[in-house]
Amino acid sequence: MYKIAIAGASTLLGRELKDALSESPLAAADVILLDDAAAHGQLDQVGDEVTFVHAIEADAFEHVDFTFFTGTEDLTRRHWRQALRSGSTVLDLSGALDQESGVLVRAPWLGSEAASPDLFTPAVVPAHPAALALGLLLDRLQLAAPVRFAAATLLEPASEFGRAAMDELHQQTVTLLSFQALPRAIYDAQAAYNILSGFGENSTISLGPAEARIRRHYEALSASRWPAIALQVLHAPVFHGHAFSIAIELERPVDISALEDALSGDHVDLVLEDTDSPSNLAATGQNDVLVRLRPEQGPRNSSQISRLWLWAASDNLRLNAQNAVECALDLRRLRPKGTVQ
């Protein structure tokens, strides 16, 4: 019934989105793959069908119900209004549009937010996967007791910056082991075997915009329901997966069992055993956020705590794609017959 376009289909996120769509109620949709000239003509696959990546031409979005932008911010800015003029609903996974007038940041897993999209909404931005994961955990904890304070350190993987960053991290790892000069086209710093709070002055990527985007999306999802969060983003020398160290202070002491019950549920997998500690590797391919609760040092033998640590991990690409599909399913009410409005 629906026709879907993925603009930026050759990216890591574009490929993840294809898989998420094939596992969703939109699996029967007609999917077309679009990208810039460099990817034009690449052989690809959607479900069981072999297809090609097409160029974004003047009529690329004609009769398209949903357009997912999964490429660079520049690609989104160049083509999103073209998709709107063609009558397509725009879902921006690049984050380029989250400060445009009328554009909404969404995460249907978290229930009602400040506003819901309507026919006058120009585009929807599926929330950053780190903001979504933090929102899920803070929202659950609030069921047990109000949260007074929250601070999080996020370890960001190379895949958040695309295939080129992953390739350079791999090349740096190889060249360090063979005592050769480091490639620095992307990072302009040693990213291999190193945790960084920033990159070199000639780097083509930066942690600052990513951190600012996560803050904006967390605030948009919160709609004043959760406390402000102190956030630090670091780059870890890993290819995939977010990892979080989160410090929490509650308004009052609560039984540990009550906190565990509050955290458990859809989209959150509470890990109780040390042998199964959440990690970016364990989270790969998972739809859930993996989390382990550890009480802060308190009175000996006390079952009630007001301070705790959460160690969490999630598949950043998978969570992003899943949230985008959920946003599209939520938007189906605006085009219930799959026809261009």
Report how far residue 116's alpha carbon sits from residue 69's, in angstroms, rounded to the nearest whole number.
20
Burial of 51 (0-12, 13-18, 19+ CB in 10 A): middle
- How confident is residue 47, by pLDDT bands cut at 50, 70 and 90? low
| 177: helix, strand or coil | helix
- Tokens 């931005």 belong to 125
The average pLDDT across 23-52 equals: 77
Overall average pLDDT of the 254-266 stretch = 93
Q: Which of 13-27, 48-62, 126-140, 235-249 has the lowest mean pLDDT?
A: 48-62
| Residue 260, pLDDT above cutoff 50 | yes
Strands 30-35 and 3-7: parallel
Residue 335 has pLDDT above 80, yes or no: no
Residues across the chain = 341
Domains annotated on the chain, with CATH: 3-126+321-334 (3.40.50.720), 131-316 (3.30.360.10)
Q: CA 220, CA 103: separation in Å to the nearest integer?
A: 11
Q: How far apart are CA 281 and CA 259, in angstroms?
A: 25
- Residue-wise pLDDT for 222-232, tens only, equals 988 999 999 99
Q: Which helix (H) or strand (E) holds 85?
A: helix 73-85
pLDDT at 341: 45
Q: How far apart are CA 309 and CA 312, in angstroms?
A: 10
- pLDDT tens digits, residue range 198-224? 998 999 999 999 999 999 999 999 988
pLDDT at 117: 86
pLDDT exceeds 90 at position 273: no
- Nearest 5°: phi and psi at 180? -110, 170
Q: Summarize the confidence of residues 99-118 as an average pLDDT.
A: 85
- The confidence band for 43, taking pLDDT boundaries of 50, 70 and 90, is low
Residue 137 pLDDT level (bands cut at 50, 70, 90): very high
3-state secondary structure of 170: helix
**Alpha carbon distance 190, 180 (integer Å):** 13
Cβ-based neighbour number of residue 133 at 10 Å: 31
- d(CA 26, CA 90) in angstroms, rounded, equals 16
Mean pLDDT of the region 234-258 = 96
Q: What is the pLDDT of residue 58?
A: 87
What value does the mean pLDDT of the chain take?
90
